[in-house]
Amino acid sequence: MTYDTDVIVVGAGLAGLVAATEIADSGKRVILLDQEGEQNLGGQAFWSFGGLFLVNSPEQRRLRVRDSFELALQDWYGAAGFDRDEDHWPKRWAEAYVSFAAGEKRSWLRAMGHRIFPVVGWAERGGYDALGHGNSVPRFHVSWGTGPGVVEPFERRAREAAARGLLTFKFRHRVDALNLTNGAVDGVSGAILGPSSEPRGVSSSRTVVGDFALRAQAVIVASGGIGGNHELVRQNWPKRLGAPPKHMVAGVPAHVDGRMIGITEQAGARLINRDRMWHYVEGLHNWNPIWPGHGIRILPGPSSMWFDATGKRLPSPLYPGYDTLGQLTHIMATGYDYSWFVLTQSIIKKEFALSGSEQNPDLTSKSWRMTAQRATNKGAPEPVEAFKARGADFIVRSNLPDLVEAMNVLAGSKLLKLSEIERQIEARDREIDNPYGKDAQVMGIHNARRYIGDRLIRTAKPHKLLDPAHGPLIAVKLNILTRKTLGGLETDLDGRVFGVNREIMPGLYAAGEAAGFGGGGMHGYRSLEGTFLGGCLFSGRNAGRAAAKAVR
């Protein structure tokens, strides 16, 4: 039997790049295949904000954040809510991953040239109790250079390995089947797609110009999740979240099509937790779209008031940035698949960040001068101001009656009553006069500002929304945005895939989003954020190292 290479990696996103570079660095040969062209190298990670979950980092310590492995694991379990037999490997992955995030992760990346923006963000704040969902402390470390800053070291290593003859790229190679001999996976076959000159992220053609079959001792599936395929998202939508949304925007490019997960399942692999997914509720229609239905997520600070489609304020603790899944469940239970932020210019200026490398040119281009302007500029960062001016979901008015009228026009309904919205905002505004009080969101704002990072660049000084000095008033219509697949192919800690018979399928490995970021779903039901890129790094590394060791 002759092999074309030692290991084949399907998918040149972050997980595939990490796995392939680990294999090449161990002296083994690897072919890295992707259905997209070379311009898409790095997959979703290139578009990402580059936020990384780290525990007890020097950046946290400098900001006087006291964190520990024990606290992070407590938070992880509170978020994950593991409650199924299938959670055996996901839970083991979660423990191993939190240990990686508290240990080697930062120094491993740093040795490759990766750097971190010094102000640590506080995502998914929870708001329940100590054992409940949420980060007890800020842990969202933004990569200097955002997503491209995460991809860069691995792309460099991959190109060096290609120059040494150990790594071969095969772009526009779409895998349609896994091949097995005597029960062991030993190759892939599929279609060669016609060349694509589309810019990165733009959907490419699926015109077939040939076919291929390749043999290897092991295959690693690193093909990403299902978020770009809304039909598949709706099919897997869990009943506990209500009916699937009629309207969604796409937070991922079209290549996140979920097809390879189905192909791997057909070959006998066990797919678990397919009903667990991580979609956002603060999605915007991109006024300048790159991929079909392109949506952008607002990473919100804690001060915007949040109303459902009928004008009722979301209950405690469903405040911006607290509990994504809780918000999704609540919003879907209203019978409408959208909701509203109401805020002021002072809030948008300090609290709106947009997730995506292209939406943060200051951090992405590693410009300290531009980044410093976030703190000193009169307006919000330029991409946020562009959305405010041109985005279909934004309304800016100088007074509340005009704002509510325009909100009803945008929604095409008369669901919002000025008197009701006004009553709720005025009540909230009365709670601003004291640095303490009973409104849990206002208390949360005071709490946030006791963290220096939030006070500096993330949480606006408490003020009355109806104070014209902080105006104009802004309303944002928020859509459901598809993003991450939390379930996936069940694997052990080496990334070896289990078959439906619960036994390891020889020769088959999985990593990244296709493997639920490890084990078939290391997040359980919810994420603490910044854990997806990290999950790709860790699972890609484990699978790559284990596959390299296993091949002769």
- Which residues contact ligand FAD by CB under 6 A? 10-16, 33-36, 40, 43-45, 47-51, 174-175, 222-224, 251-252, 255-256, 259-260, 355-356, 484, 512-513, 530-534, 536
| 109's tokens | 């990346």
Distance CA 447, CA 460 (A): 12
| 189's tokens | 């076959």
Smallest separation, CB 47 to ligand FAD (Å):
4
Identify residue 260 by its one-letter amino acid code. Answer: M
Nearest in space to 256 (alpha carbons), one of 53, 15, 527, 86: 15
Encode 128-159: b = buried (16+ Cβ within 10 Å), e = exposed.
eeeeebbbbbbbbbbbbbbbbbbbbbbbebbe
Distance CA 217, CA 199 (A): 34
Other Cβ atoms within 10 Å of 168 Cβ, number: 18
> Cβ closer to ligand FAD: 324 or 531?
531
> Cβ closer to ligand FAD: 338 or 532?
532
Smallest separation, CB 483 to ligand FAD (Å):
6
> Cβ closer to ligand FAD: 133 or 428?
133
Smallest separation, CB 497 to ligand FAD (Å):
15
> Cβ closer to ligand FAD: 51 or 524?
51
Q: State which H helix or E strand residue 427 sits in.
A: helix 418-430
Instruction: Write the DSSP symbol of residue 399.
Output: S
Smallest separation, CB 448 to ligand FAD (Å):
20
3-state secondary structure of 177: strand
Smallest separation, CB 260 to ligand FAD (Å):
4
Distance CA 37, CA 35 (A): 7
> Cβ closer to ligand FAD: 49 or 307?
49
> Cβ closer to ligand FAD: 43 or 245?
43
3-state secondary structure of 10: strand
What count of residues does the chain have? 552
| 496's tokens | 């070896």
Q: State which H helix or E strand residue 539 sits in.
A: helix 531-550
Smallest separation, CB 37 to ligand FAD (Å):
10
> Cβ closer to ligand FAD: 50 or 187?
50
> Cβ closer to ligand FAD: 100 or 307?
100
Q: Taking the alpha carbons of 364, 152, 58, 484 in that order, is the dihedral positive or negative?
A: positive
> Cβ closer to ligand FAD: 400 or 536?
536
3-state secondary structure of 85: helix
> Cβ closer to ligand FAD: 486 or 551?
486
Instruction: Write the DSSP symbol of residue 312.
Output: P
Smallest separation, CB 487 to ligand FAD (Å):
13
> Cβ closer to ligand FAD: 146 or 459?
146
Smallest separation, CB 44 to ligand FAD (Å):
4
Distance CA 382, CA 353 (A): 11
Smallest separation, CB 356 to ligand FAD (Å):
4
Strand pairing class (277-285; 30-34): unpaired
Smallest separation, CB 421 to ligand FAD (Å):
31
Smallest separation, CB 516 to ligand FAD (Å):
10
Smallest separation, CB 530 to ligand FAD (Å):
5
Distance CA 206, CA 196 (A): 9
Nearest in space to 300 (alpha carbons), one of 314, 319, 317: 319
Smallest separation, CB 285 to ligand FAD (Å):
14
Helices in 164-317 by DSSP H: which ranges?
230-236, 259-266
Residue nearest ligand FAD (C-beta atom):
13
> Cβ closer to ligand FAD: 271 or 465?
271
> Cβ closer to ligand FAD: 35 or 459?
35
Q: State which H helix or E strand residue 404 sits in.
A: helix 400-411
Q: Residue 401, CB half-sphere, CA atoms under 13 Å: how many?
A: 0
Distance CA 26, CA 552 (A): 12
CB 31 within 8 A of CB 214: yes
Residue whose structure tokens are 């007074």: 399
Q: Where are the beta strands (DSSP E) in 195-263?
A: 208-215, 218-221, 248-250
